[in-house]
Each structure stands twice: as C-alpha cells, then as structure tokens.
Structure 1
Amino acid sequence: MNYLVIFGKPRIFGLLSNLDQELKRDTNVVIESLRGLEIACLAGILTDEQVQKYRQRFEFLEENGEPDDGLQMKPVEPPLQDVAFVRIAQEEDICEAAKQRQEEDEALPLVRDMLKKHALPMKIVDMEYLLDRKKLYFYFTSEHRIDFRCFVKELAKEFKTRIELRQIGARDEARILGGLAPCGKECCCSYWMLQFFPICIRMVKEQNLALNPSKISGLCGRLMCCMSYEYDMYKELWQGLPNPGTKIKTPSGNYQIAGVDVINKAVRIRSPEGLEFLVPKDEFELFKKTVEGGQKWPLHVESVVTVEADSGEAVSKKNSNKKRKSKK
C-alpha cells in the first residue's frame, strides 16, 4: 500500500510506497527521509494513480519553484520525497520528540542572544532536532545573503551536533509558526495546504473586495492565500467584459462598470445618478447598445444593489432584505 506522510516543522510531504503493513490515518511513524530519522504523521492512503499525480505536481514545483508573487523563496528541501518506513512510533519515540520540542523552545532565546553578538541581519524563526539528534536545523529570515560560518561554529560548539541553517521566506515563516488567521481559523498554510498559490492585487480588485491591507493580508504580511480560492470563478465571469471602472458613454451621462456578482452571474453597473444595479452577463451587450442609443434600461427592484458600509461589498436589495430578516 502507498501512504502520504507529513513531517518536519516546514510540513514536508513524503511517500511511503509498497508498504506491506496496513496503517490507520493519523498514525505516527518513524521514517528515514533525506534529512535523517524523524517522526511523521500518516495523512492517508494513496492509490498508484494518486501517487503518480502527486509526483507530477511536485516535480513541476521542484523545477520551477513554488509559484508566487516573486517574494517566495524556492524550498531548500524537495517538497515531496520518497521516505523509508522504519517502524510505528513507540512511546519512547513520542516522549523523545516532545522532549526535543521543549528543549527547542527553551534554547531559542539563547540562540537569539548568541546571534546579537555576531550582529548578523537575520531573524531566527525556529529550530528543530531530528529524532536521533544527529542534526539540528535552524530556520531564519533575511533580506540578504549572509555569511554565517562563524555563527554556525558557535552553534555547533554549544549544541554538540551537526548544524544546518535554512533561509525561508515570510510565508514559510507563517507556515512553520502557525497561528490563527483573521477568519479565526488556523492558517491554511500550516494546516492543509500542499503549496503556496500565486496571488496578486489584481485578484483582490476583480473580486470586488475592499483594498484594506488589514483585511486582505495574512500573518505573514502578504496577501492571504484565500484570495485565490474563488478567483477562478470571478475570472471566468470577467471574460468578455471590459475592465472594472470602464465607462460607457451615453447621451444622458456615463455608466460605469463597478464590478461583477458571482452569485447572480451579473455585471454591477453604476448609473450617472450614482445608482448601482445588476445586469445579467448574457444581457450586457444588449444593455450597452440600449443605453448608448439613448434609451433607458428597465430596472427591477431585485436588480438594484446597495453597498455595505463595513465591507464595501455590494449586495442586491433582495439579498439585503434576507440579511435584515435573519438578523431580526
């Protein structure tokens, strides 16, 4: 049987292939990875077809780097790797791993004090022992390439094991440290995401979201990953339509395209009088010809929209009335 496992603080994915032993999901196992001996959590069973899809997906990432806004660093470790099964994690393995996590938390302040003596422009994010303590990884962020050889020698002298420093990006820092996102749930990157998705400010604009940095930025200071989840639907709806803000000149004044409504599959139009209303996408060309010819477009009550003051989100009066009733 084939299994997908997750291990390490950076959430590295591993494939256990052709294992004779049947294991349950969430079972802790000891594996031999490219890094060394470590504990992994069994995420699920994979068919041969699924294994092939995972390999193809991660091979692309390894060759091209994880797609992003140019600020994400290419991962040092392969994002997916074949690992060898050693044994099901015993009680002493679990206790050793817990002891290591406690020691790491206690040692971090000491390491940061050691870093101050070297005056290096870097920030130590976290540290991680392998299960057999043959390696100790340090994860750090920095805007520059750094010569930290003297610092590594001091760390090796202090911890008496092989030291490896890994430079990571801001989004990787959030993935390692974890935390609660603005929505109140655990960060997607540290909970379920396999990879980072490309995100840009245009995605936010095309989804009619308010450009408020505090509402669209995650713990990493970058655009939140969830900005890309519904983007494909908005992108499909925008196809064949002018860009947001485009004006339609008419004898009575200019109409403006304010956005799109995915739920109603409609275009949001702002009239010369400032009234906003919805026009079904398949009727947009007819609407354009009608108003450009000087004729009025018939409005229905449910097509008129109001703008929510808190979020800047536009909703139809029909949906707005439903919201008021639910509040009561």
Structure 2
Amino acid sequence: MQFQFIILILICLHIGVLGSSNTDNNSATKASLTNPYYARDHIVNPHNFSYVLNPGYSVCNNSNSPVYILVYVHSGPTNYQRRVVLRETWATRTLFPDLRLVFMIGKTNDNNVMKAIQYENEIYQDIVQEDFIDAYKNLTFKGVMALKWISVYCSQTKYVLKVDDDIVVNTFTLINHLKFLDRNNPNKHSTILCLLWHAMGVMRDSKSKWYLSKEDFPLEKFPPYCSGSAFILTGDMPAKMYNASLYVPFFWVDDYYITGAVASAANVTYAQLGSLYTIPQQLAHTRFMSSKSFYTIMFGHFPGSMNNMREIWRRILLMQKYKFPTRVEVFSFTWDEKIHQNDNSIN
C-alpha cells in the first residue's frame, strides 16, 4: 500500500512538471504571436562580421586620462565632411579631455570611397568599420557592431553617448547633467537616458520607408523604445546589450531593436530626457540661438547645411565663455582659424 502511494505521488509530480512545461510553451507561443522580437534561450542572431578598420584600444586606452563619455556616431561612408565638423566642434578632446569619439561605418562597393575612408582613418584613428554593406535596412548591424566594439575596447567608460552624424550636442550641458546625476546616484547602472517613445504607431503605409507589414511586426504599436537620434547608456550596458542581441531575432528597425527589444532583454531602466531634445531643425536652431531657451536644449537635429551646425557651435561657445573663459577663448581662436580654412571646402 505504501509503495502504491509513493508511485501515485511520483505520477502526480510528473504530470505537474509536464503541465508546467506546457504552460511555459504556451507562454512562449503567445509571446511570439504578439511580439516576435523577444529573447530566445539560444543564439539566433550571431554577429558574424569582420573588421575592415579597427582602432582597437587606442581610442580609450591611449592616455592616462579616464574616459567619462565615449561618443559613438552612426555615420555613412560618404559623410566625411560631417565627421570633420563633429571632430572640430562639440566632440573635440581639446575642450573635453575625458571624452572619446569613434565613428561606426559599414562597407560600400565603391572602392574609391573605401580608400578615402581608409585614408581618413590613418589621419584620425577613430573609425570602426565592419564588412556588412552600409544601407538603411542594415543599421541594426551597425548598432550591434557598436555594442560589441565598446564592450571589448572601451568597457571602462562611465557613460556612452550614441548620436547620428547630423546631431549637435551641447556637450557642456551634457556633462553638467551627468555630473549632477553622479552626485545624486553615484552607482547608477543598467540605465538608458533618452527621448523615450511610448506606444509609437507602426507604419502600415506601403509607400513609407518605415513601412512594416503585419508579418514583419504584428503589433499595431511598439513597446517603449528610444529615439535613435541620441541616447545615453551607463557604461555597463553595452556588454549586457550585445550579449542580449545574440538571443533576440534580427529586426531591421534599429531604433526599436537596439533600445527596445535588446535593451529590454538586458533589463534596462529607462530615464526620460525628452525635454532636452528638439528634432525639427528650424525649432532647434531657434532654441539654441535664444537666450531664454538655450539651457533647455541638449540635442538638436540638423540634417541640412553643416554651416548651421558650426553656427550653433559658435553660439554654444559664446554662452560658455563666462564659465570657462581661458579654455574656451583659446579653443575659439584655433577653431575659428580652422573654420576659415575649411569654409570653401565644407558646405
């Protein structure tokens, strides 16, 4: 009788385990039906690309000064002039010695452009390039490439700022804001600070470049994710997010994939910075130029003339002179000389 009772218990436990397994399977099936871009329990998105150009450890470990912010920029192969503007304005180490800058670029089939990028990198040593084709629907590869590279070659940075190459950043305001956060929460981690989108509608218009069919993305609204124009990661996040990306199926909408699906799989905490962004170019120009709104904008989008980017940077320097008079005045003089030399070549 006792033996039969034990057998009965074992059978019940076995049924219970099977029931639990079926529940888990049902949950996974339900998740895949609503949002297919959730983390699997095995690698589904290996990043099997090789470096064409890689400055390696030289970007972050080539001096004794610590790295407070690593800036990585999504840039197109032919956007040389934009990269020059960024190097000479808001991302310059002349003014910000604890900042590092690196550009993320894919390859192109144009051999002349590839040679030009190689020559550019010989001068600046700040370009990371992998052998995927640089195209709009390959931007996710670029985002994963950046996470992978940072987790290996600049893992000790305090913060990571991602921007597109048509963004102007008030770096003074950025650093002041982060230093303020450090004072209030010195051990901040697992966080992304950004312009956070909630319930962003999925584009169903087949004529749009952002079009997604229901087969591509069955939900009508995206879960929370960040504007890809600019976002800030705490230094621990690139490695966590790169590892998570291996288990999240590839999705070509890079902003959602990187800052939504992958970030969520890496257990990120979102911090809203939306009030410091201005996306429309004319409005960004107005806010930067106005004394009343100058200190309320950190990121401005300038997809048009690069002269506008230089104009905004002059304005930023002018507004910061009273805080850093010697440093800014010396930099302004050398920068104005460079701009005078480049005015005929950069439009």
TM-score, L = length of structure 1: 0.22
Q: Which has the larger radius of gyration?
A: 1
Relative contact order higher in (CA < 8 Å, ≥ 6 apart): 2
Greater helix content: 2
The normalised TM-score by structure 2 is: 0.21
More strand by share: 1
